[in-house]
Amino acid sequence: MNPGDLIVRNATWLDIEAGDYCEGDLEIRDGRFVDVDAQPSVSDVREIDAAGAYVLPGLIDCHVHVTAHTADLPALGTDSPNYVAMHTARLMGDMLDRGFTTVRDVAGADYGLHDAQVEGLLRGPRLFFGGKALSQTGGHADPRGRGESYVDSSATCSHIGRVVDGVDAVRAAARDELRKGAHHIKIMAGGGVASPTDRIDSTQFSLDEITAVVEEAEAANRYVAAHAYTGRAINRALRAGVRSIEHGNLMDDESVALFLEHDAFVTMNLVTYWALMEEGREFGLSQENWEKVSVVLDGGMTALERAYRGGVNLCYGTDLLGGMHRHQSREFALRAEVVPIIDIIRSATSTAARLIQREGELGVIAPGAFGDLIVLDRDPLRDVSVLADARPSQVIQAGKVVAAGG
Ligand code: ZN
Ligand code: ZN
């Protein structure tokens, strides 16, 4: 029996594009769907019966940090990578249990974790990674307090970023991350919450530096993802060719026009601000950084509504740190206040797949796509809590049942 072969009988499965359910048996061979409406008759294949349940493509979270076992990101840099990997294994296994069969890590994960997942050493979602994020001196991934002068940017340290200044240096850093297999290059294009010396309203990197990184990523048929909150930071990044904006909480109307013009994506992550307000300090976020959270939380819901109404490509993201990772599915409930549930599901499946350059292969139930599925007890289009507050009764990845029991 091939472990990547599976037949899901009597499935009520969601056609993501149509936004409606189909009925039938789903056949997965060697990890991929071979047919979605034929009548498979073979008997040498494992079968599960999904009668009465609702079947969706496996979910994709486009903004995670699988190495962030603490919210105190500057402290992460002093941990042993081996120690961090043990935490990562736990965090990634939990993500899979929640139905996320694919994640995009946007600072921290590397080829070692990617390879371990592919080889089956590490139970977790498929991992798309960017290596270390590029930050200017004093930028969002510069971990130093004002009195500290040393930054360890060595390949093996656990810090999520590297500090680089100047066109030549950022170009070399981008090439270095691509050399190590990065699926995208992450840059810090504006201020952030969990960083010691920058302001939320700052822009970071010169236009020349951003343009150089975009050029390197595109040369390798990859793309740039930029951390940016304000309209000012977002708009200059989009104009410079950045394809993926992370957060975007303080975007303006011009941002919406630029997203459409460039067919760019925004990955918001309201849940992390909700969680940081609730629990950030007990998981290591400093008082000063905690106070920055309210600024971006207030803008987030308004920006989501603005982006949705404007027709911007929206992706599901969470950006949770430390013990707050357990709220990963709550983003569904927060977004449901302004976005129809089918469109939130698209943001976590088909639109996400387009962002990570795997359109038609991930986030969809169709011939040739990877056999990644979640089985839910109730209809998520009627009741978002089955996604937000419960776990799937079964999670299937490349035709293997990888989590079961709800
Ligand atoms: Zn960020
Ligand atoms: Zn992040």
State what percent of residues in the chain have pLDDT above 70.
96
Once rounded to an integer, what is the mean pLDDT over residues 359-370?
97
Residue-averaged pLDDT of the chain: 93
Once rounded to an integer, what is the mean pLDDT over residues 125-134?
97
pLDDT recorded at residue 279: 84
* 139 contacts 96 by C-beta, under 8 angstroms: no
pLDDT recorded at residue 157: 75
Q: How far is the CA of 61 from the centre of ligand 1 (A)?
A: 14
Residues in the 5 Å CB sphere of ion ligand 1: 227
**Domain boundaries along the sequence of the chain:** 6-58+361-404, 67-328
State the ligand closest to the CA atom of 109.
Answer: 2
Q: How far is the CA of 269 from the centre of ligand 2 (A)?
A: 9
pLDDT recorded at residue 14: 98
Q: How far is the CA of 141 from the centre of ligand 1 (A)?
A: 9
Q: Is the pLDDT of residue 114 over 60?
A: yes
Once rounded to an integer, what is the mean pLDDT over residues 374-385?
97
pLDDT recorded at residue 155: 63
Q: How far is the CA of 26 from the centre of ligand 2 (A)?
A: 36
Task: Return d(Cα 63, Cα 267) in angstroms, integer.
Answer: 7
Q: Is the pLDDT of residue 37 over 80?
A: no
The end-to-end CA distance of the chain, in Å, is: 26
Once rounded to an integer, what is the mean pLDDT over residues 316-327?
95
| pTM (predicted TM-score) | 0.96
pLDDT recorded at residue 218: 98
Q: How far is the CA of 64 from the centre of ligand 2 (A)?
A: 6
Q: Where would I find the H helices in 187-326?
A: 207-219, 231-239, 253-262, 270-279, 287-310
pLDDT recorded at residue 290: 80
- For domain 6-58+361-404, give the CATH number: 2.30.40.10
Q: Is the pLDDT of residue 324 over 70?
A: yes
- For domain 67-328, give the CATH number: 3.20.20.140
Q: How far is the CA of 12 from the centre of ligand 2 (A)?
A: 35
Task: Return d(Cα 124, Cα 127) in angstroms, integer.
Answer: 8
Q: Is the pLDDT of residue 406 over 60?
A: no
pLDDT recorded at residue 72: 84
State the ligand closest to the CA atom of 318.
Answer: 2
Q: Is the pLDDT of residue 26 over 90?
A: yes
pLDDT recorded at residue 152: 65
Q: How far is the CA of 5 from the centre of ligand 2 (A)?
A: 36
pLDDT recorded at residue 183: 98
Once rounded to an integer, what is the mean pLDDT over residues 299-308?
95
> In terms of Cα–Cα distance, which of 213, 216, 218, 168 is closest to 226?
213
pLDDT recorded at residue 42: 64
* 77 contacts 159 by C-beta, under 8 angstroms: yes
More confident residue, 370 or 192: 370
State the ligand closest to the CA atom of 204.
Answer: 1
More confident residue, 220 or 286: 220
More confident residue, 38 or 369: 369
Helices and strands per DSSP (H, E), number in the chain: 13, 18
* 249 contacts 296 by C-beta, under 8 angstroms: yes
Q: How far is the CA of 366 from the centre of ligand 2 (A)?
A: 31
Residue-wise pLDDT tens digits, 189-226? 999 877 788 888 999 999 999 999 999 999 999 999 99
Residue-wise pLDDT tens digits, 74-111? 888 889 999 999 999 999 999 999 999 999 999 999 99
Q: How far is the CA of 194 from the centre of ligand 2 (A)?
A: 9
Question: Is 49 in a helix, a strand, or coil?
Answer: strand
Once rounded to an integer, what is the mean pLDDT over residues 300-329?
96
Residue-wise pLDDT tens digits, 219-254? 999 999 999 999 999 999 999 999 999 999 999 999
Residues ≥6 apart with Cβ < 8 Å to 307: 248, 251, 256, 259, 266, 268, 314
Question: Is 62 in a helix, a strand, or coil?
Answer: strand
At 267, list the tokens: 């990955």
pLDDT recorded at residue 151: 63
Q: Is the pLDDT of residue 343 over 90?
A: yes
Neighbours of 24 (CB within 10 A): 17
